[in-house]
Amino acid sequence: HMLRSSTYACRSRVHSGCVRAEISYIMVKPDGVQRGLVGEIVGRFERKGFTLRGLKLFTPGKELAEEHYKDLSQKPFFKDLVDYITSGPVVAMVWEGDGVVKSARKLIGSTNPLEAEPGTIRGDLAVQTGRNVVHGSDSPENGERETALWFGSGSVEQWQPALAPWLRE
């Protein structure tokens, strides 16, 4: 099936055909991987009830990091940011669910971990903006853009969790 491995989902409850499922690109940054926080971070999205669509560990190159953060290219911290993101393996992930982009931003917490609420990933696990352990897309459009950038278009898995009816009526 053409749509099987794309970021589109066909949901049985939608009668007018296929709708685009909302996805967010979530990444455990190198500090999160080095500190052994991968399981903790993945676990929070799993327990919340979102669906994992893609996951891989690798060290990104400079070009990829620069493209990912291109909107920040004029910022004074841009070079340090690219050095940080390319300094070691990251865990690149795609999570799906209605409202996942906004909800993931809430679960992650404010950019500055000292301002992030306790209970959020950054609020619980980090102390500095330049080492804030995790990334989450800031809009559904960027969720699509970043997924295509990190995974290639059409390369994330499409599947129906058996638990779905216990998460959404």
Indicate the annotated binding residues for ATP.
Answer: 29, 77, 105, 111, 122, 132
In sequence order, the β-bridge partners of residue 91 are 28, 57
Element housing 101 (H / E): helix 100-108
Which of 94, 96, 135, 147 lies at the binding interface for ligand ADP (CB under 6 A)?
135
Helical spans, DSSP H, in the chain: 30-34, 38-48, 62-68, 78-85, 100-108, 121-125, 140-151, 164-167
Compute the distance between CA of residue 140 and CA of residue 19 in angstroms, rounded to an integer.
Answer: 14
**Binding to ligand ADP, residues 42-81 (CB under 6 A):** 72, 77, 81
**Binding to ligand ADP, residues 80-109 (CB under 6 A):** 81
Nearer to ligand ADP, 53 or 68 (CB): 68
Contact assessment for residue 116 and residue 122, using Cβ atoms and an 8 Å cutoff? yes
Least distance to ligand ADP, CB of residue 29, Å: 7
**What's the CA angle centered on 11, arms 47 and 137, to 5 degrees?**
50
Compute the distance between CA of residue 94 and CA of residue 100 in angstroms, rounded to an integer.
Answer: 10
Indicate which residue of 1, 15, 68, 135 is catalytic.
Answer: 135
Contact assessment for residue 25 and residue 143, using Cβ atoms and an 8 Å cutoff? yes
Which of 7, 24, 120, 132 lies at the binding interface for ligand ADP (CB under 6 A)?
132
Interaction mask 4-43, ligand ADP, x per CB under 6 A: ----------------------------------------
Least distance to ligand ADP, CB of residue 79, Å: 10
* 135 is a catalytic site residue: yes
Q: Is 111 in the site for ligand ADP (CB under 6 A)?
A: yes
| Interaction site with ligand ADP (CB under 6 A) | 72, 77, 81, 111, 129-130, 132, 135, 138
Give the active site residues.
Answer: 135
